[in-house]
Amino acid sequence: MRPTETLRKEHNLALQVTRAAEREVRLIHDTSEFREEIIDMIVDFFHFFTSACHEPKEEKLLFARMAARGLSTDTGLLGEIEREHNEFRARIKEITEWRRRRRAGAAADVEELAGMLNGYLKLMRAHVTKENDLLFPVANQLLTDRDQVELETAFSSIECEEILVGVHDKYSGLAHRLASRSTEILEKEHKVVLLVTAAAEREVQAMRENGQVRAPVLDKLIDFYEYFADACHDPKEERLLFARLSERGMSADSGILAEVWQEHREFRPRLEAIRTALERARSGNGQAVTALADELSAYLELMRSHTVRENEILFPMVGHLLTDADQEELTREYESVEAEEILKGVHDKYFKLAHALTLS
């Protein structure tokens, strides 16, 4: 194996963690939730694996040999790559300092952390592409066969030492764990749905207490559930997760999978009944308002119980039924769908709507 192939394999690990870190950045933006343990694992990976394991192979061995073969380290592609390595270290230092301040009890805005991480991750993606597509082909043309053999021997020596002390397995395992949490995006969307559900429950209580209908707020609530939960969230579950679980032997006719799938089908007519009840209640008729409150309350009760059943019963089964390859593939598919939603503005529209409803 060529030395550049060894480095490409490590790049793949770095990109797996990059995808996981991008999900954490999006989680902070969407829900303001900061999962310190996950952030610690991500920062630990980039700080140690890339700075102490991966980059030394490049800088002390590959880049040095390329320089010995005449490639400038001060200008051009190699100089640019080395400057980016230095920038990575500076950015990780800033992130580490943010974490130190937070642990010391100082005010530390999680959006600031999200911004720092986002900048680091964008640089990581561009940097890996630059090395894979530009630098490594140059290296393979520039280096002699003897260079290649000597470099691979030196790389193997470093890897043997990493394996001996458990570093290699630790960070390979961490990368795969971070990349294999296929229910992460669904759980995040559940958090948002429950925020809106709490807001809707307050509307029900207000309607019962004062007999008044805030039609504009209810229109937004219906819009959220109709589009976000029914057209964005449920299809991710039904077409991707539920289908894969069924392929791996979970019954779609009985048991928990059949039950949650049936509840998805229940949500749709119930939501239409709420829309019809709202039209009747706009005039303020007392009976119509009570009927609307009853319809909405039943829907919200089902939404809460359904979300709990998925989070606490169905999702824990995923790790037992699906292979690591299944989970990584599902995660990529979810990310692809979410990226398309973000590109079209749908994702941000409904997350902003959810936060607005919680404050209404």
What are the chain's domains? 3-179 (1.20.120.520), 184-359 (1.20.120.520)
At 69, list the tokens. 């073969």
Q: Which of 211, 159, 171, 120 is nearest to 12 (CA)?
A: 171
CA distance 103 to 78: 38
Q: Is the pLDDT of residue 168 over 90?
A: no
Please tell me the predicted confidence (pLDDT) of residue 291. 92
pLDDT at 183 exceeding the cut of 90: no
Per residue in 187-235, pLDDT (tens digit) is 888 988 998 999 999 999 998 988 888 889 999 999 999 888 777 888 8
Q: What is the mean pLDDT of residues 142-163?
A: 82
Report the pLDDT value the prediction gives residue 141, as an integer from 0 to 100.
Answer: 93
Is the pLDDT assigned to residue 172 strictly greater than 90? Answer: no
The residue-averaged pLDDT of 17-43 equals 85
Higher pLDDT, 256 or 232: 256
Supply the mean pLDDT for the chain.
86
CA distance 196 to 360: 10
Specify the higher pLDDT residue, 128 or 316.
Answer: 128
SS3 109: coil
More confidently predicted of 106 and 171: 106
Distant-in-sequence, close-in-space partners of 241: CB < 8 Å, separation ≥ 6: 182, 183, 186, 318, 330
**Residue scoring higher pLDDT (148 or 348):** 148
The dihedrals phi and psi of 286, each to the nearest 5 degrees, come to -60, -45
Q: Each residue of 264-315: pLDDT tens digit?
A: 999 989 999 999 999 988 877 888 889 999 999 999 999 999 999 999 999 8
Query: In this predicted model, which residue has the larger pLDDT, 342 or 236?
Result: 236
Say whether pLDDT at 87 is over 60: yes
Question: Which span out of 117-121, 154-158, 232-236 was modeled with the highest average pLDDT?
Answer: 117-121
Q: Which residue in 232, 305, 318, 216 sits closest to 263, CA to CA? A: 305
The structure's pTM equals 0.70
Is the confidence at residue 164, as pLDDT, over 70?
no
Among 98-102, 196-200, 222-226, 343-347, the least confident range: 343-347
Say if residue 130's pLDDT is above 70.
Answer: yes
